[in-house]
């Protein structure tokens, strides 16, 4: 009986996630008749390759940058509707980019991602205005939840 309940709950969880994902993709497709641009800034090449693919699968336009400086120098900085940003990078760090964007008056919603599991840093970033701080590796449902929060803000 316990095994049946466990399978039933797991099955229901998968169904709920599938419905949530489908709903979110529909919302994105209808978002202001344009596809929102999400920029990913991370020095890890595997993140820059895989995360934009997932974002495109979810219906977004996505661009990836290997550094904060490259993002700021691009034409995409002004068009970005949400920024997924690594905390620790060579050169300008994620929090430094967050401060630079605020200084420029660009209030892009930011989702931080990090391999360092530090709850204190996570809380500080959220207090400074980040939408979320996800620990790598993060799940697709966690990313969807953070994106949903970002687009509610923006």
What pLDDT is recorded for position 4?
Answer: 40
Asked if 82 and 41 count as a contact pair (C-beta separation under 8 A), the reply is: no
Say if residue 136's pLDDT is above 80.
Answer: yes
Any alpha helices (H) in 30-139, and if so which ranges?
45-57, 68-73, 94-103, 119-127
Predicted confidence at residue 153, as pLDDT, reads 82
pLDDT of amino acid 24: 60
**13 pLDDT higher than 70:** no
pLDDT at 12 over 70: no
In this prediction, residue 35 carries a pLDDT of 87
Distance CA 130, CA 86 (A): 12
Phi, psi of 117, rounded to the nearest 5 degrees: -85, 85
CATH of domain 2-153: 3.40.50.2300
How much is the pLDDT for 11? 45
Query: Tens digits of per-residue pLDDT, 62-117?
Result: 999 999 999 999 999 999 999 999 999 999 999 999 999 999 999 999 999 999 99
**Which residue would you say has higher pLDDT here, 17 or 35?**
35
Query: pLDDT tens across 39-77, in order?
Result: 999 999 999 999 999 999 999 999 999 999 999 999 999
Spell out the residues 6+ positions from residue 112 whose beta carbon is closer than 8 angstroms to its own: 85, 86, 87, 94, 122, 125, 130, 132, 133, 134
pTM higher than the cut 0.75? yes
pLDDT band with cut points at 50, 70 and 90 for residue 34: confident
Instruction: Kindly list the domain boundaries of the chain, sorted by start residue.
Output: 2-153
pLDDT at 22: 61
The reported pLDDT for the residue numbered 21 is: 64
């Amino acid at each position: 009986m316990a095994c049946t309940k466990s399978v039933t709950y797991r099955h229901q969880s998968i169904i709920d996630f599938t419905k949530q994902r489908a709903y979110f993709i529909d919302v994105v497709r209808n978002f202001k008749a344009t596809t929102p641009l999400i920029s990913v800034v991370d020095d890890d090449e595997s993140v820059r390759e895989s995360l934009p693919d997932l974002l495109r699968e979810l219906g977004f336009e996505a661009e990836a940058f290997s550094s904060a400086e490259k993002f700021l120098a691009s034409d995409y900085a002004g068009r970005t509707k949400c920024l997924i940003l690594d905390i620790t990078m060579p050169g300008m760090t994620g929090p430094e980019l967050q401060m630079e964007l605020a200084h420029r008056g660009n209030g892009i919603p930011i989702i931080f991602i990090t391999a360092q599991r530090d709850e204190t840093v996570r809380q500080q970033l959220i207090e400074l205005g980040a939408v979320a701080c996800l620990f790598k590796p993060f799940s697709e449902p966690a990313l969807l939840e953070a994106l949903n929060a970002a687009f509610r803000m923006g």
